[in-house]
Amino acid sequence: MLDSISIKLIKAPLNIIAARLHPYGITANQVTFTGFLIGCLAFPALITEHYFIALFFILLNRICDGVDGALARIQGITDAGGFLDISLDFLFYSLIPFGFVLANPEQNAIAGAFLIYAFIGTGSSFLAFAVMASKRGIENPVYRNKSLYYMSGLTEGTETIACFILFCIFPQHFAVIAYIFASACWFTTFTRIYGGFNTLK
């Protein structure tokens, strides 16, 4: 819901970083993979309940996720790069609630599992429509520079990162936040399935 706004706000600084990296021969795919490895460092921090350290790695991961796109626009957007980016993004998104589950299984297990289940809904509906949109040559007027068709919804990348920030600041309320956000994810899933089906039909 907020991605179209947040992208406009962060576009300029990301472009500056990308312009500085490009002359050194750093590729978008290298930034994508490095960002994923950095994001994975949040996992042991979460398990050991060092939540602000985890938040640091989460934010670094998201910065890398923005920089790789800016670099790709300089170097040329590729299908391979888009595939790598979206695959590692979804793995990262699921890793964070899993870390909270392992940190406190007794309180967080069911809520964490419900959230990851909801991520399956948002992710599969997003990717399934992207495949069909590409097949039919349907373009998104909002995200023209993306390698995939970005289907909007109540919960997008911006809302997900906001949720992760709340998890790290208020870890004792993980279950409540997870249930609320998972419910919003299911709303996104159902609206995407409904809208996508009728668009393709």
| Whether the predicted pLDDT of 140 surpasses 70 | no
Q: Which value, to the nearest 10 degrees, does the dihedral of the CA atoms of residues 148, 183, 89, 168 take? A: 150
pLDDT at position 147 is: 54
- CB neighbours of residue 184 within 10 Å: 18
Q: How far apart are CA 187 and CA 154, in angstroms?
A: 7
Q: How confident is the model at residue 142 (pLDDT cuts 50, 70, 90)?
A: very low
Collapsing DSSP states into helix, strand and coil, what is residue 142?
coil
- End-to-end Cα spacing for the chain: 24
Per-residue pLDDT of 67-120, as tens digits, reads 999 999 999 989 999 999 999 999 999 999 999 999 999 999 999 999 999 999
What pLDDT shows up at residue 144? 52
- Tokens representing 115 are 């959230």
List the domains of the chain with CATH numbers: 3-200 (1.20.120.1760)
Distance (Å, rounded) from C-alpha 83 to C-alpha 134? 13
Q: Which residue has the higher pLDDT, 4 or 20?
A: 20
Q: What predicted TM-score, i.e. pTM, was given to this entire model?
A: 0.88
